[in-house]
Amino acid sequence: MDSDKRRVHVVTYGCQMNSHDSDRMLELLEPLGFEGTTDKLSADLVILNTCSVREKADQKLFSELGRLREWREEDPSRILAVGGCVAQGMGNDLLQRCRHLDLVFGTDQLAELPDMVSRISAHRVRVAATEWRKADEFDFLPIRPQRRMEGTHAFVKIMKGCNKFCTYCIVPYVKGRELYRPAKEIVDEVRLLVERHGIREVTLLGQTVTSYNLKNGKSGEPRFAELLLRVAEIEGLHRVRFMTGYPKDVHDDLLEAFRIQHKIQPYIHMPVQSGSDRILRMMNRGYRRATYLEKMAALRAARPGLSLTSDLIVGFPGETEDDFLQTISLMEEVRYDSVFSFAYSERPGTRAESFADSVPQAERRKRLVHLNAVQDRITRALLRECVGLTQEVLVLGPSARDPQMLRGRTPEHRMVNFVGEAQVGDLVQVDILEAGHHTLRGAQVVINAA
Ligand code: SAH
Ligand code: SF4
Ligand code: F3S
């Protein structure tokens, strides 16, 4: 290892947007002579990239800060930094509360990270920076062309922030308003990933990607469906996905894109949150159960076999047993491939925090267990229905369990471990032979070109 190199370790909490930001942080710090390390305690700089979406996520930060106290105090040249959503929410308070912390930087401050780290190294100041950037000052930080990339899949950020203000959710407060990355920049980044890094599949990333340029977009900039089509046209790219879709903003142009462009994969993460109209209204989701179901049916008509996944909240204030059972019946109707399910968690500053009729914690946990049991049954049934099919699989690498086997994903994003002989990034046909709890097993169809 280069002796004048300094080492940085980033701990990421929360969603894909945060992982994406963590990658950008590592890239930004490279020109300062920092290289990433997986060994936290040997690092010169530790960054905790935080999440505040549920209370548990908050608590994780404080226990980690406690554990890092000794590391920080052992060597005065070390730097301890907190970024991400808790940093944005708490700002200077966090710096005051934790004396061994050097830097608190908000979610719009990524581009300034190298400067702040340099200042701290030189002058040992303590810094809190949580201002919002104006639209024309915000930097989406393109992936650096020279970075090393592994694998065949990449995330590409297309927007930041959220304007929806669901009553339970802290994200709009900690990530700020929606800003859309220019389409040309997105297309150029995907092209670079394909041409230089051999990426074959991209996931376009944002809190509500279907809102891209929908209301406040600049003139001449495409809406989401058009952006998908432009990205899909890139030669050498096999597959396009996106995350997360917002049901209210699904319109005919998206259905049409699914109809005409088969590089757009038949898999959408489209959270419903609840199956009860009463709760959906209190959540301010902007759609009703019936409209959600109609839109999902229309998407499945546009692309038969489309698989859907969802996020669900149980125990929202005022949720009765009957409301909860409506969520269960919606799950049975949609048949999600999988869901992320959460017990409602009160977040400071959100509207729902002051809603009456909070559901007892024990009841929230009980509903969560019930919901997860229903989903496990649906997930297993859907996997079993794949047995006997021959599916197109994008090869990701050797199987984690058995290195003699390969691992890849079907268009519906299901993981398959299979016997075969192919290269990473190949698209191959695989006979699905067996279904496990979460994954499939199969054998590659080898065509002898004799
Ligand atoms: N933008 C995405 C969600 C981002 S947050 C969307 O609207 O679909 C990820 C998930 O966390 C949400 O979908 C929701 O299910 C859950 N979540 C958000 N706030 C929560 C809270 N206060 N309590 C419990 N779960 C919450
Ligand atoms: Fe939160 Fe709603 Fe925005 Fe999703 S759409 S990030 S749940 S406010
Ligand atoms: Fe968490 Fe912030 Fe993502 S609160 S879920 S890391 S946007």
Q: Ligand 3 centre from 435 Cα, in Å?
A: 33
CA 174 to CA 403: how far, in whole Å?
A: 42
What local confidence, expressed as pLDDT, does residue 60 receive?
85
Q: Which of 13-17, 136-140, 288-292, 329-333 has the lowest mean pLDDT?
A: 136-140
3 — pLDDT class (breaks 50, 70, 90)? low
- Using the mean position of ligand 3's atoms as its centre, give its distance from the Cα of residue 205 in Å: 13
Q: Percent of the chain scored above 70 by pLDDT? A: 99
For residue 166, give every residue at least 6 positions away whose Cβ sits within 8 Å of its Cβ, in sequence order, or none. 273, 283, 284, 285
- Any atom of ligand 2 within 6 Å of the Cβ of 217: no
The confidence score (pLDDT) of residue 414 equals 97
Rounded distance, CA 207 to CA 176, Å?
A: 11
For the chain, how far is it from start to end, CA to CA, in angstroms?
50
| Ligand 2 centroid from CA 164, angstroms | 6
Sign of CA dihedral 225, 231, 235, 236: negative
Question: Which residue, chain included where needed, has tokens 């992320």?
Answer: 340
Q: How far apart are CA 132 and CA 84, in angstroms?
A: 13
Average pLDDT rounded to a whole number, residues 412-429:
96
Q: Is the distance from CB of 68 to CB of 99 less than 8 angstroms?
A: no
pLDDT at 449: 61
Give the separation between CA 293 and CA 105, rounded to whole angstroms: 41
Q: Helical H runs in 303-407?
A: 321-334, 361-386
Span 336-365, average pLDDT: 97
Q: Please report the pLDDT score of residue 142 as a whole number.
A: 87
Question: Residue 243 forms beta bridges with which residues?
Answer: 205
Nearest atom, ligand 1, residue 341 CA:
15
Nearest C-alpha neighbor of 231 from the set 220, 242, 219: 242
pLDDT digits (tens, 9 = 90+) for 73-129: 999 999 999 999 999 999 999 999 999 999 999 999 999 999 999 999 999 999 999
The pLDDT value given to residue 4 = 75
Q: Which residues contact 215 (CB under 8 A, 6 or more apart)?
A: none
The answer to whether the beta carbons of residues 355 and 282 sit under 8 Å apart is yes
Burial of 102 (0-12, 13-18, 19+ CB in 10 A): buried
> 16 CA distance to ligand 2 centroid (A)?
14
Q: Which ligand is nearest to the CA of 84?
A: 3
Q: What is residue 149's predicted lDDT score, i.e. its pLDDT?
A: 80
Whether residue 392 is predicted with pLDDT greater than 60 in this model: the reply is yes
Say if ligand 3 is within 6 A of residue 52 CB.
Answer: yes
Atom 5 of ligand 1 has which residue's CA nearest to it?
53
Q: Which tokens is 400 given?
A: 């984690």
Most informative mutation of 171, 273, 280 for ligand 2 (most atoms within 8 A of CB): 171
pTM: predicted TM-score of the whole model, two decimal places: 0.95
pLDDT band, very low/low/confident/very high, at 358 (cuts 50, 70, 90)? very high
CA of 135 to the centre of ligand 3 (A): 20
Please work out whether the CB of residue 207 comes within 6 Å of at least one atom of ligand 1: yes
One-letter amino acid at 356 equals A
pLDDT score of 2 more than 80: no
The reported pLDDT for the residue numbered 135 is: 85
| pLDDT (mean) for 41-50 | 97
* Three-class SS state of 311: strand
- Atom 4 of ligand 1, nearest CA residue: 207
